[in-house]
Amino acid sequence: MSESLQINGVEIEATFAEAFDMKATRIIITADDQQWADEAAAAMTGFGTSVIACKIEIDVERRLQPNQTPDGRPGVAILAFAVSGSELEKQIPVRAGQCVLTCPTTALFAGIDGDAATLPKRIPLGKTLRYFGDGHQISKIIGGQRFWRVPVMDGEFLCAHDVGRVDGIGGGNFLLMADSMRAATSACRAAVAAIKDLPGVITPFPGGATRSGSKVGSKYKTLMASTNEAYSPALLGWPPKANSTGDSASDQSALSDDIRAVLEVVIDGMSFDLIADAMRVGIHAACDAGGGNGLLRVTAGNYGGKLGRHHFKLAEILK
């Protein structure tokens, strides 16, 4: 495919999204009804948009019907990603204890098949949370897996002992450039809705989108990331800034004068192929909704291929 690739009149730039190795896990929350399961999931995934400050990227993968859960109740599958296994081992038990143990009627299960022999890298669940039982907790082995039963005020909290940790990928992305915020919003919501029920991926930012696309580093030494001014319509036409030597630097805007809003969809996933499929589905949905309605271009964020080994080339994904 060439630089002239278009979908429904929307230009697709010949570039790639750059993504990074991460550690990942899946857990399953069940409850007496879907609302309790959703409430626990919403609390557990809060403040989990970016590893830059949240240290974890975590979101609902999908809702589960009773015939899809270990205990035959309504549930939610959650995916979580971090840059290290130790960070997942820190974040998951704390969030589970404060957000799932506390929520009425819930239970917590491992969402990745495999025991300590097949998946030796483990993240504690009941192994840590059992101590809330103050000595009244008991364990059971069911189907070769250890569970803990912790007495609480509505009966018992049932929790898997631990869950396996696997390799994942974070940072698949595409950027939607439109002539208005309304057009960008419409295209973005169509993309996220299309991705929402795909297995093995999440879009961790609010509503699946971020307006604060970032670059590595900052003029302020305390920041590891800062605004990607090349995609800020507010900076179109501003005088060039001086570079690090004090000389005038050229204007680095990546936008044309007709672009008034840019939204980025970031995707984390359990494999390269799952992220590539989500990008393909999301971009097509965005172009179907936004072509002729203000969506003008689609591109992707990268750092020249220097920081992440996973490169999602738009032309190849959209073949």
pLDDT tens across 136-165, in order? 999 999 988 999 999 999 999 999 999 999
Give 236's pLDDT tier (boundaries 50, 70, 90): confident
Residue 251: per-residue pLDDT: 53
Per the CB < 8 A criterion, the answer to whether 58 and 80 are in contact is yes
pLDDT (tens digit, 9 = 90+) per residue, 19-33?
999 999 999 999 999
Pairwise CA distance, residues 211 & 185, whole Å = 11
Q: How many CB atoms lie within 10 A of CB 215?
A: 15
> How many helical (H) and strand (E) elements, i.e. helices and strands, does the chain have?
6, 18
Per the CB < 8 A criterion, the answer to whether 40 and 157 are in contact is no
Pairwise CA distance, residues 60 & 77, whole Å = 6
* Strands 57-64 and 75-82, sheet pairing: antiparallel
Q: What percent of the chain has pLDDT over 70?
A: 94
Region class of 101: left (phi > 0), else alpha (psi between -120 and 50), else beta: alpha
Longest dimension (CA), the chain: 69
Pairwise CA distance, residues 80 & 163, whole Å = 12
Which amino acid makes up residue 152? V
Query: If you average pLDDT over every residue of the chain, what do you get?
Result: 94
* Strands 201-202 and 295-299, sheet pairing: unpaired
Q: How many CB atoms lie within 10 A of CB 273?
A: 10
Pairwise CA distance, residues 224 & 53, whole Å = 10
Q: Which domains does the chain have, with CATH numbers?
A: 6-18+170-317 (3.30.70.520), 23-166 (3.30.70.520)
Q: Is the dihedral of CA 98, 30, 113, 170 positive or negative?
A: negative
What are 167's strand-pairing partners? 23
pLDDT (tens digit, 9 = 90+) per residue, 86-116?
999 999 999 999 999 999 999 999 999 998 8
The pair of structure tokens assigned to 297 is: 């271009």
Pairwise CA distance, residues 226 & 214, whole Å = 5
Pairwise CA distance, residues 191 & 205, whole Å = 13
Angle separating helix axes 181-196 and 272-290, nearest 10 degrees: 140
